[in-house]
Structure 1
């Protein structure tokens, strides 16, 4: 069996095993650390692994660790990571897996999910970020409520609304994603969740006036926490003011840049059309007037071939400059949620279902960061297309310029040589071979 087939079989087997294991061994009171959470971590870990295009062996270690990282909850929440490692190693041994490097990577990645997270290498960072990806995901509020419920059911830890919000704020403020991909995918939404938590805190408890020394110390702690919170949500400050609108300078910049790109594209198309017309006319004239006369004027064959070659090469690059290229035309919902898609260009959405496109556009309208990010991406790719157009045009004009000079020179040389040959043939015999007359 090939390595790829073995890996595929192993991943199918581990999914079925973990689902059955959690169902039979993990207390249902763990309403957060359940199979649903495990599947979400696996999906995110897989996405991060593909984002960085890690090797097949490293990808396998990441996914296996994601599947097993919470199986240790079968023995309770304390030190569950160690038990998860043992469950993983026992199962892998039963599957005949003996690669020590793979086993070490799986163990390390599982241990990297222990709080506070302290991953030691890149693979562990990916799994650690995947484990807490819900902090910056649309599922945050549901998962947050489940954590609170789980604390109550499994640790007999009942918290008031204020205590819970303070707990979440403290956890979120002190948490940082380890990989750049996770920060890009989940950082902005996590910042918005932080703001929403703080707003809920202020709405529930607007009067935070300290009444004694203990409350004064608590208020100081909150002020420090708020200062750190403001730094963490710097990217999302615009959300604090619902009436915020970008300055006219920003809007003018985008408008002027778009207009410039459109004008440059139109100029490029016009230049290409000029070359198409000129070369088509030259080829028509050559075909109608020169080709029929080549039998009688064989000395013009080479210059004619040069001229035709120049025109065909110019036509080729002029057509390349104007030939439309359409992309796949489909962006996934995952791309939209991760704010990676650009729905402003038809080539990116013409194959999408209308519901997905509508959802993406509504998200873009509601999220100014998404909107301006899409506009920026659109400008970038417009510039890439323009660069290709002008590259082809430059080649086209260079071929035409220097090719025409070479072709005209070839015609002149051919005519001069032919005239010289004819003149020599017309000389009297006594001038060509006087010795014959003697």
Structure 2
């Protein structure tokens, strides 16, 4: 917990600093291997990706409150181990997670009973319904459900539904699932102020979108969860609070805004124009490649072999060859493909900075990361249209470079050919005027 203002500064023994670094460096690799080997793949939500997200959120919350080093260590360890108990199924998995964490810590030589007790308490705090007993447990509990207010919510929500079907035989219709998810979201409250600030606004946005999906699916039905809310004053208060959050999000802009057909037509026409212009540029470059290749082959085959007997043609020939090579160079530059890194980071995807519409940005990515990014783009129209806009921009940048190289190529060929022809004429005239044999 944060130290009181009048408390002496917290000083951590050097041995514990080293142990903390060692434990935190080792726990991720251990948990990843454990989940891959011991937990059934049917748990598509409670997987290593979820565990990483919880550990990241727990670290962020702990750092926000500047908790002591040993409390921070307990929070992060609890986050890493909180779902390892799924190796024995979903029922009572928290207790198995406590056993896994305790056994691993003791195997690492940790004999700090307070640390083990704090890790165990943090793991138990994730049990539904959450009932954390102290501030450390509140942080772990909030981190466990941070996805409710995260950009990954829709992907994780779909995985929960799939996992319920695979592991609990809970097959729900769309209406049943939306009612279930709405009830869970409305009954949940973040325990810490930092979690409310970090995840609360986006969580209310997700609730609003769930309501809209329910209304779109069943426009003539009164939402069943609203009827349940009217049965008690407590639930009425939650509904009132939800309404205020929705109004607050509406002031920031409608998240479900859908651009009209005119905007989609604009994007379609602009993409088509860019593709056509790129094709035209490539055709122009191919023409210059063919013409200059023909000229060079003629020069090499016919003219170069006769320069010994016609030394006055050496300079014009050099000029002609230089013109063709310069023109070829810029024609090749206009068509030469550029090799990109082919990988977008998860940070860029979550920050909506990545453009996954161009293969050069994803061909080296793991399929799971690419799938996650595409699903986020499909669900978030702002992300989708932002990616399309960036794609158009970079297509325009590439086209500008193509046409700049082509302009240089054509200028070299046009003015170079003129200079070469003039050079040949001058050389021939000068040779004829200075050769006495020809003047007789």
TM-score if structure 1 supplies the norm length? 0.53
| 1:138 aligns to 2:157 (yes or no) | no
**Cα distance in structure 2, aligned partners of 1:11 and 1:399:** 67
Name the residue aligned to 2:335.
322
Mark the structure with the bigger radius of gyration: 1
1:169-211, Cα deviation, whole Å (9 max, x unpaired): 9979994x7xxxxxxxx899556336369889x97556999xx
Structure 1 residue ranges without an equivalent (≥5): 1-9, 21-34, 46-63, 75-129, 143-160, 178-185, 210-215, 239-244, 428-438
- Does the 8 Å CA contact 1:364/1:371 hold for their aligned counterparts? yes
In structure 2, relative to structure 1, the CA distance for the partners of 1:42 and 1:271 (3 Å cut) is: farther
1:375 to 388, 395, 403: 388
**Cα distance in structure 2, aligned partners of 1:231 and 1:168:** 23
In structure 2, relative to structure 1, the CA distance for the partners of 1:206 and 1:73 (3 Å cut) is: farther
- Does the 8 Å CA contact 1:170/1:225 hold for their aligned counterparts? no
Name the residue aligned to 2:415.
402
Question: Superposition pairs for residues 22-101 of structure 1, below 5 Å?
Answer: 39-41=55-57, 69=67, 71=69
**Cα distance in structure 2, aligned partners of 1:382 and 1:69:** 48
Name the residue aligned to 2:249.
229
- Does the 8 Å CA contact 1:41/1:133 hold for their aligned counterparts? yes
Shift of 1:279: 0.5
RMSD: 5.1
Aligned to 2:256, what secondary structure does the other structure show? helix
Aligned to 1:342, what secondary structure does the other structure show? coil
Name the residue aligned to 1:256.
269
| 1:284 aligns to 2:290 (yes or no) | no
Q: Would you say how many aligned residue pairs link Structure 1 and Structure 2?
A: 297
Question: Superposition pairs for residues 39-438 of structure 1, below 5 Å?
Answer: 39-41=55-57, 69=67, 71=69, 135-138=149-152, 175=197, 189=202, 192-193=205-206, 195=208, 204-205=225-226, 226-232=246-252, 234-238=253-257, 246-423=259-436, 426=439
**Cα distance in structure 1, aligned partners of 2:203 and 2:185:** 20
Aligned to 2:394, what secondary structure does the other structure show? helix
Aligned to 1:386, what secondary structure does the other structure show? helix
Aligned to 1:237, what secondary structure does the other structure show? coil
Shift of 1:353: 3.6
TM-score if structure 2 supplies the norm length? 0.52
Structure 2 residue ranges without an equivalent (≥5): 1-15, 27-50, 73-142, 158-182, 215-222, 231-235
- Does the 8 Å CA contact 1:330/1:349 hold for their aligned counterparts? yes
